[in-house]
Amino acid sequence: MRTLLLLFLFQVGIISAQETLQLSEGQTSPNATLKDVSWISGHWQGEAFGGIAEEIWSDPMGGSMMFVFRLVADNQVSFYEVGHIQEVDNSIILQLKHFDKNLRGWEEKNETVDFRLVKMEKNKAYFEGFTIEKVSENQINMWVLIESKDSSEEVLFSYTRV
């Protein structure tokens, strides 16, 4: 199912920003807590893939920050994501699952798409293939690395607070 998402993203166009990082083989995630990324919480919206992308992030509670995402194009939901950033082994990890507009899962039942933390800065969190940046109190950027067999590109989601 991840391949379907990759094909969809390549069909609608990609913005390259060179903002994502990867852990080296054997490298572990740095120490971090949800407090380090609590600035992500809120209701965010922006344009993407010819439609409106929307994310709603909770405040930290119970060792996680949950979120939901939806992409609406041509007045129809294209897909959803549900996920969280969770504290694990003195660090944090971003995990998500994709769903079509009828809530049929893309990943297998017990599978998630995982993005381990690579690097933390004051207003920027680098996960493997997924970077989140606080631009201001009312703007955040997210870059997602999309890989195919032949190439990899980054997609920029520029959000403003709703």
Residues 33-63 as b/e (b if ≥16 CB within 10 A, e otherwise) read ebebbebbebebbbebbebebbbebbebeee
Cα–Cα distances in angstroms (integers) from residue 61 to residues 58, 64, 158, in the given order: 8, 6, 26
Per-residue pLDDT reduced to its tens digit, 31-65: 999 999 999 999 999 998 889 999 999 999 999 99
Number of Cβ within 10 Å of residue 2's Cβ equals 13
**CATH architecture label of 2-161:** Beta Barrel (2.40)
Residues 110-133 as b/e (b if ≥16 CB within 10 A, e otherwise) read eebbebbbbebeeebbbbbbbbbb
| 3-class DSSP assignment, residue 60 | coil
DSSP state of 86: E
pLDDT band at residue 18, thresholds of 50, 70 and 90? Answer: low
Per-residue pLDDT reduced to its tens digit, 102-152: 999 999 999 999 999 999 999 999 999 999 999 999 999 999 988 778 888
| 3-class DSSP assignment, residue 34 | helix
Mean pLDDT over residues 61-85, rounded? Answer: 97
Give the domain ranges of the chain. 2-161
Look up the pTM and report it: 0.84
pLDDT band at residue 10, thresholds of 50, 70 and 90? Answer: very low
